[in-house]
Amino acid sequence: MKAVVYKGPFKVAVDNVPDPKIEHPNDAIVRITSSCICGSDLHMYEGRTAAKPGIIFGHENMGLVEKVGAGVKLLQTGDRVVLPFNVGCGFCRNCQRGYTGYCLTVNPGFAGGAYGYVAMGPWRGGQAELLQVPFADFNALVLPPGKKHEADFALLADIFPTGYHGAELAKVTPGETVAVFGAGPVGLMAAYSCLLRGASRVFVVDHVKERLDKAKEIGGIPVNFDVADAVQQIRDQTEGRGVDKSIDAVGYQAVAQGSPAAGGKAKEIPNIVLNQLIEVTAPTGALGIPGLYVPSDPGGVDEAAKKGSLSINFGRLFEKGLRLGTGQCNVKTYNAYLRDLIIAGRAKPSFVVSHELPLDKAPDAYDKFDKRVDGYTKVVLHP
């Protein structure tokens, strides 16, 4: 089959690789109809993780069940399914308590497994024609048959639940004001989720015009951090109070005001958004941090950052009595409910999708999405 294979920094290729097989009675093989490229893939693509060449990328996968193992009870050949990016077993201590992003058995020695991701276990990615799905009854979310809502449902594998997770970590409730940093797919989904949960005003911070335009389109208030300090811009619009809740949908590759993307020279500042969340959130508020931080970053700006050690203003956090939550999204906690919002016509997350392309176009799509040019916001690949 064809698959997107990582070749080294800034290089992927569509190669021929062996088809996956049923290796365990609980496995299913899914024929992929949609697999998205994620901002998380870019960390590997740019050589900013410990990922070695040879990984098949793709953790946002959807398709039709092609084959099931003898132990699979509920799933049937032909079922249309979307797979959470987390691989879970369903029976370990963490899966049982709903923390499927921290499964203790699918990636021995580590809490958490995923398809096509460095350090997340042996699971191959789904930017390919076929995908092996372990513990298939547990991991697959069944969708209505047909072709309707394909792009909306594909986003249930990761970014819609992850954006929602950001809102949940910050416990966003009706009427609250929120600041979302990052208007990439995750940030846009976080802003969208806050609005679904009834937030009164949602500020969305970024410096990529097309992304800020999308934030405005869904009812967010765009804040361009290259124009002036983002925290100050938000204070100016909240009588100096700041916001009730804030969300980091940027992660460790955050850039400073006046970065090359805006024609400037400013560098990456990995702790900038974390400290801005602390500053912009009013006392007693909460911070949701789905943005990714890693314990090992070969390209880190200094020795500490290379080990994932960042300086954050804990004194201010304490003084303001702020709470924070972070980590991988437990997709299974939310995906069935978010699916039902899509079916009921109450949510249409596909507004974020900018490009739908055949698998062969993956190398060019990675390049453009990585440079955040030509409006590349979210790419769905169709093998």
> Which residues contribute to the site for Zn ion (CB under 5 A)?
38, 40, 60, 88-89, 92, 95, 103, 158
Tokens, residue 73: 């009870």
Options 3, 38, 128, 294; binder of ligand NAD; rule CB under 6 A: 38
Nearest distance from C-beta of residue 115 to ligand NAD, angstroms: 13
Which pairing describes strands 80-83 and 60-68: parallel, antiparallel, or unpaired?
Answer: antiparallel
Quick count: other Cβ atoms within 10 Å of Cβ 22? 17
What is d(CA 74, CA 213) in angstroms, rounded to the nearest whole number? 43
39 lies in the binding site for ligand NAD (CB under 6 A): yes
Cα dihedral sign, 360-366-368-372: positive
The residue (of 249 and 338) whose beta carbon lies closer to ligand NAD is: 249
Please give the residue whose beta carbon sits closest to Zn ion in the complex. Answer: 38
- Given ligand NAD, Zn ion, none, residue 162, with its beta carbon under 5 to 8 Å by kind, binds ligand NAD
**What's the chain's Rg over C-alpha atoms?**
20
- Given Zn ion, ligand NAD, none, residue 184, with its beta carbon under 5 to 8 Å by kind, binds ligand NAD
**What is the per-residue binding string for ligand NAD in 176-215, x denoting contact by CB under 6 A?**
-----xxxxxxx-----------------xxxx--x----
290 lies in the binding site for ligand NAD (CB under 6 A): yes
Nearest distance from C-beta of residue 205 to Zn ion, angstroms: 21
Cβ atoms of 32 and 80 within 8 Å: the answer is no
375 by Cβ neighbours in 10 Å (0-12 / 13-18 / 19+) ranks as: middle
Listed residue (118, 77, 116, 85) closest to 103, CA to CA: 85
Options 40, 61, 233, 246; binder of ligand NAD; rule CB under 6 A: 40
89 lies in the binding site for ligand NAD (CB under 6 A): no
Nearest distance from C-beta of residue 144 to ligand NAD, angstroms: 25
| Residue ranges that bind ligand NAD, judged by CB under 6 A | 38-40, 42-43, 158, 162, 181-187, 205-208, 211, 225, 249-251, 254-255, 272-273, 290-292, 328-329
